Amino acid sequence: MKIGNFNLSEGKTYIIAELSANHNGSLQNALDTIKAAKEVGADAIKLQTYTADTITLNSDNEDFMINGGTLWDGEKLYELYEKAYTPWEWHKELFEYAREIGIDIFSSPFDKSAVDFLEEFNPSAYKIASFEITDYELIRYTASKNRPIIISTGIATIDEIQDAVNICRDSGNDDIVLLKCTSAYPAPIEDANLKTIPNLAQTFGVIAGFSDHTLGITAPIVAVTLGAKVIEKHFILKKSIGGPDSDFSLDKKEFKEMVDSIRDTEKLLGKVDYSMTKSKLKSRRFSRSLYVCKDIKKGEKFTLENIKSVRPGYGLHPKHLQEIIGSVSTKDYKFAQRLKL
């Protein structure tokens, strides 16, 4: 499966820098963040495409007030999304700039109108946010565009995840990535349950990844060791910019550390390999082998007192020790001489 020019089957992890609200209302911040994402090694920058009116209602009803221990308690949903959204009139310039500097770009649509709008820019993929996984019509419409579809599973039951996968496949779209996600901001590490990642891939027959809201970079690295092929993390130029998502976003230095650590992790994981590499063969000189540990005369028997398994490995393999013990030497041997068959 490919997203843009990136082949998810080739062993590397597709790393997504989530812009979200980290432009804090400034187009220049958004452009600078895309440039920085490229510089720190992200494979893609991801936007969010909605307006306050496409995502909620402008109501003072208690249902539309945020509470429950979030970073945004006391705010009205409508007002939060008014602050956080990426203006649609920026999208053309953002897409063009990302492509100009060579970083992939796509977005999360939050309603059908956003999908129609994004189609104008030929995005490499679509991302369904975790809170939208229950919007089956949005998933169906997005999947019908036959682009890779990445779905965060944060708030979903296992049945809802299966429904989302079935909807994509029924729409003729089998390019599906499911992201393990904890929809808390920031997310406690004890709620990450990263062992779910390989189970997502196995249970649903898809590529699995991780959308991370924990603090720091440990969780994405562990996720890669468990088979995550896609990592998504909120990215901000610098924390001083502020904004709704700044508290759980990585800045430029932190994001680069994460990317570098993931790339090192990929090298460490490597592949299943029992072959004798050049370095392995070279190191075998320090292995054990059979040497004479006491002078032996012709006609004398080999015993545990006159031959021994020691380093280095230039002599006879130690597996021959028992078959040699008790046999008679056909020549003289000196101390520290190699035994050969």
Residue 234 contacts residue 20 (beta carbons within 8 Å): yes
Q: What pLDDT is stored for residue 11 in this prediction?
A: 87
Q: Tell me the per-residue pLDDT of 295-316, one tens digit each, with 9 for 90 and over.
A: 999 999 999 999 999 999 999 9
Helical pair 158-170 and 196-204, crossing angle rounded to 10 deg: 40
Residue type, 4: G
Q: Helix or strand or coil: residue 127?
A: strand
Position 73 confidence tier, pLDDT thresholds 50, 70, 90: confident
Cα angle vertex 65, ends 62, 70, to 5°? 135
Cα angle vertex 251, ends 248, 257, to 5°? 105
Q: Region 108-117: what's the mean pLDDT?
A: 98
Residue range(s) occupied by CATH 3.20.20.70 in the chain: 8-50+85-269
Higher-scoring residue by pLDDT: 302, 279 = 302
Q: Region 137-158: what's the mean pLDDT?
A: 97
Shortest CA distance to 324 belongs to which of 292, 297, 288? 292
Q: Tell me the per-residue pLDDT of 254-277, one tens digit each, with 9 for 90 and over.
A: 999 999 999 999 999 998 999 988
Q: What pLDDT is stored for residue 192 in this prediction?
A: 95
Shortest CA distance to 107 belongs to which of 147, 80, 63? 147
Q: Tell me the per-residue pLDDT of 314-340, one tens digit each, with 9 for 90 and over.
A: 999 999 999 999 999 999 999 999 999
Look up residue 155 and give its two tokens.
Answer: 């708030």
Q: What pLDDT is stored for residue 263 in this prediction?
A: 98
Distance CA 41, CA 29 (A): 18
Name the fold adopted by 8-50+85-269: TIM Barrel (3.20.20)
| pTM listed for this prediction | 0.89
Partnered with residue 235 across adjacent β-strands are: 250
Q: Is the model's pLDDT at 244 over the cut of 90?
A: no
Q: How many CB atoms lie within 10 A of CB 274?
A: 6
C-alpha 337: how far from chain center: 53
Q: Tell me the per-residue pLDDT of 174-188, one tens digit each, with 9 for 90 and over.
A: 999 999 998 887 889
Residue 306 contacts residue 335 (beta carbons within 8 Å): no
Q: What pLDDT is stored for residue 53 in this prediction?
A: 96
Instruction: Judge residue 137's burial from the number of C-beta atoms within 10 Å of its C-beta, 0-12 exposed, 13-18 middle, 19 or more buried.
Output: exposed
Q: What sign does the dihedral 286-291-294-295 (CA atoms) show? A: negative
Look up residue 62 and give its two tokens.
Answer: 């208690």
